[in-house]
A and B are shown apart, each in its own frame.
Chain A
Amino acid sequence: MTGVLAGVVGSAVPFAYSGGTSYDAGVGYTGVYFNANGTFSILSGYKTIEYLIVSGGSGGGGGGRRTGGTWGGGGGGPAGNYITGTTAISAGDYGITVGAGGGGGLAFNASTNGTGSSGSAGGTSTWSLNTPLSISGSTGGAGGSGSTSTFIGGSGRANLFFTGGSGVANSTSTGGHGGGGAGLGGNGSAAVIASGGYGSGGALNAGTMLNVGSFGGGGNGGVSTLAQGQGGIKTEWASGGRGGTGNNGSVALSGGSGLSGRVYLRWLT
């Protein structure tokens, strides 16, 4: 994307830029976003830029398994973290990297009892100014346990803003469910006897979040039996991964991957 805008008050040099994909940044604003690495270049002039930098969402935990019948679903992964603010910059090239979603944790499958692995953290997103601005993802959802004494589902993990839901033990015959991962709109819910916990929804603060709409739902917790938890709710980016199922008839399943982050920039036209 390349653009030239009218001269800024107090500046004789018109503002011109390149890089990113344009989006509807709100009345009176021009904005671009990055969903992959790239360079935001100011070709002339200067601007006060608002930024929203979001890391990748983290992966969900893998399911645990026990041959005796007490499985544990994995916890949901948390949504990506973010930073926002304003900075005044002039002509130059400013690199941007976008954190990828974290991978799901491995399931535990053996003839003995064990716990699934935690999901991987979401990747770090960075805007390379003179003092770089960066934000990393949080730890992925915990794995579910299938061990004799702790057949509990894994906990959904927190991000920097909200808490994840706790896993629950169900019964010695059906195992436990995983808790929901934290979203950017609220806490993940705890698992209950009947189901895994739900990840919370994404942020909806369109007015204060650079008019980007909803993003960053938490991953749902996995359950002990056939149905898996689902990924982040109704958001296309920065969501956490679902927790893995404790048992899918014969094997425990691994957690799901989180979704990649984004970087948004906007300024007054």
Chain B
Amino acid sequence: MSHWAQIDENNIVINVIVGNNDDPDEGYQWLLDNLGGRWIQTSINTFAGEHLTGKTPMRYNYAGIGYTYDETRDAFIPPKPDEYEWVLNETTCQWDIVEPTTGEE
């Protein structure tokens, strides 16, 4: 099955649905004709820039509701965690913590 993320005017993912592989375009045109809005394909097997079964990854991460679609990077990026300071990893399009300069252990 294909998977499609619906994004709002701010490129925030508001729904993720299952597309029909029996359609020539896996359901994309059906979504436009019946629901309208903006739909971006996503892969349930893509995580941190890698495909879990070794195939070609798609848009870095499987889209989740609340994720942001970054058009420049063509990537789904999860929300930035609250605690600590984070920087976007350009290889995975996930957030890496900015390591504290002083140990706390």
Nearest A-chain residue to B21, judged by Cβ: A36
Q: Which residues of B contact A68 (CB under 8 A)?
A: 105
A106→B94 CA distance, assembly (Å): 9
Are the C-beta atoms of B64 and A95 separated by less than 8 Å?
A: no
Are the C-beta atoms of B19 and A36 separated by less than 8 Å?
A: yes
Q: Does A102 contact B (CB under 8 A)?
A: yes
A38→B23 CA distance, assembly (Å): 9
Known: A110-B99, A112-B99. A99 touches B15 (CB 8 A): yes
Q: Distance (Å) between the CB of B33 and the closest chain A CB? A: 9
A88→B22 CA distance, assembly (Å): 29
Interface residues on B, range: 35 or more
Q: Which residues of A contact B (CB under 8 A)?
A: 35-39, 56, 59, 67-68, 95, 97-103, 106, 108, 110-115, 117, 119-121, 123-125, 128, 254, 257, 260
29 contacts between A and B (CB under 8 A): A35-B1, A36-B2, A36-B19, A36-B21, A37-B17, A37-B30, A37-B31, A38-B30, A59-B64, A99-B17, A102-B64, A103-B44, A103-B61, A112-B84, A112-B97, A112-B104, A114-B83, A114-B84, A114-B97, A115-B83, A117-B79, A117-B81, A120-B16, A120-B66, A121-B66, A123-B17, A124-B17, A128-B34, A257-B44
Q: Which residues of B contact A (CB under 8 A)?
A: 1-3, 15-22, 27, 30-31, 34-35, 44, 47, 61-67, 78-79, 81, 83-84, 94-95, 97, 99-100, 104-105
